[in-house]
């Protein structure tokens, strides 16, 4: 069994808990207790939305997907910063809210479009000397984090909620921390701020309106599984019995007539996915083999 599942993660469970549930569902279908699964980017427990999960040998295809653009809708709350940068943390700073902050906000958010520097928050899954930053933060340990370059492709004001909050839609590069973005926007406004609710609307080719709840996936696991060819834009070639046997054994084979592209999905005569091949002139060399 191999493919990708576009999971709608509700607020509450961790990404690891969702992946574990997906693994159990598909292990039962495949009758394979050793079936692997892995997500394509952590979503915080309090966040909801798109969590793509690779099932089976699709986990070996994750590096081929490349950087995944992300899109989010979040609630920016002004007047308070927190230990975690979101609504779950304890207050660290509070201030009165300027009366003109809503009027100034559109021009302020425009400054963040393009390449910006971000310092990852302590409450993140990044590692420092082999330990997760959030584990260190929970023990009160703060370590230096290097700022890194991320890109904000679009940042739109959707509407205000009361006197202290606004909904934002963000399109950004992989590795962007929305809670940090909210804090930085607050700094630019001259008022403490943190991130409220967060929904991920897109992660690369996976979008919110196509995502499925855990209950929907459990009801029809096969319908929820998307073939790798529909996610990674490689052409597909079909090898005959001898060719697919050689390919599985790790030997280069002759490129089938009409094949094109540097990388291709390889299927056998039964249309079973054999692996991914790389073109070298007239030869097709195995790059990844699914035995």
In this structure, the strands spanning 48-56 and 193-203 are parallel
Distance CA 152, CA 112 (A): 7
DSSP 8-state secondary structure symbol assigned to residue 64: G
HSE-CB for 130 with a 13 A CA cutoff:
0
HSE-CB for 115 with a 13 A CA cutoff:
3
The CA distances from residue 269 to 222, 240, 260, in Å, are: 22, 6, 19
Distance CA 247, CA 241 (A): 10
Rounded to 5 degrees, φ, ψ at 182 are: -60, -45
Distance CA 65, CA 289 (A): 17
Tell me the two tokens of residue 216: 């929907």
CB 34 within 8 A of CB 132: no
Q: Give me the residue label for tokens 């370059």.
A: 149
Strand partners for 166: 76, 160
Options 44, 90, 184, 268, the catalytic residue: 44
CB 239 within 8 A of CB 253: yes
How many other CB atoms are there within 10 angstroms of residue 128's CB atom?
15
In this structure, the strands spanning 253-254 and 263-267 are unpaired
DSSP 8-state secondary structure symbol assigned to residue 145: -
Question: Is residue 44 annotated as a catalytic residue, yes or no?
Answer: yes
Catalytic residues: 44
């Amino acid at each position: 069994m191999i493919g990708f599942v576009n999971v709608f993660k509700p607020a509450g469970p961790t990404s690891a808990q969702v992946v574990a549930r997906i693994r159990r569902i598909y292990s039962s279908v495949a009758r394979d207790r050793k079936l692997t699964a892995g997500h394509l980017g952590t979503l915080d427990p309090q966040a909801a939305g798109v969590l793509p999960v690779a099932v089976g040998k699709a986990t070996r295809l994750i590096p081929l997907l490349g950087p995944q653009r992300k899109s989010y809708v979040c609630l920016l709350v002004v007047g308070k910063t927190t230990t975690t940068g979101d609504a779950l943390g304890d207050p660290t700073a509070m201030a009165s809210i300027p009366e003109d902050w809503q009027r100034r906000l559109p021009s302020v958010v425009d400054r963040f479009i393009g390449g910006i520097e971000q310092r990852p928050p302590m409450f993140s899954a990044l590692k420092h000397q082999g330990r997760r930053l959030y584990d260190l933060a929970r023990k009160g340990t703060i370590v230096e984090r290097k700022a890194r370059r991320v890109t904000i492709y679009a940042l739109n004001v959707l509407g205000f909620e009361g006197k202290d909050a606004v909904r934002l839609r963000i399109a950004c590069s992989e590795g962007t921390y929305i809670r940090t973005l909210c804090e930085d926007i607050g700094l630019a406004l001259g008022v403490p701020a943190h991130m409220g609710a967060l929904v991920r609307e897109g992660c690369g080719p996976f979008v919110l309106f196509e995502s499925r709840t855990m209950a929907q996936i459990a009801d029809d696991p096969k319908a929820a599984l998307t073939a790798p060819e529909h996610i990674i834009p490689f052409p597909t070639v079909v090898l005959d019995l001898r060719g697919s046997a050689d390919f599985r054994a790790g030997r280069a084979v002759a490129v089938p007539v009409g094949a094109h592209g540097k990388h291709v999905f390889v299927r056998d005569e039964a249309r079973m996915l054999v692996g991914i091949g790389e073109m070298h002139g007239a030869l097709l060399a195995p790059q990844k083999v699914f035995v």
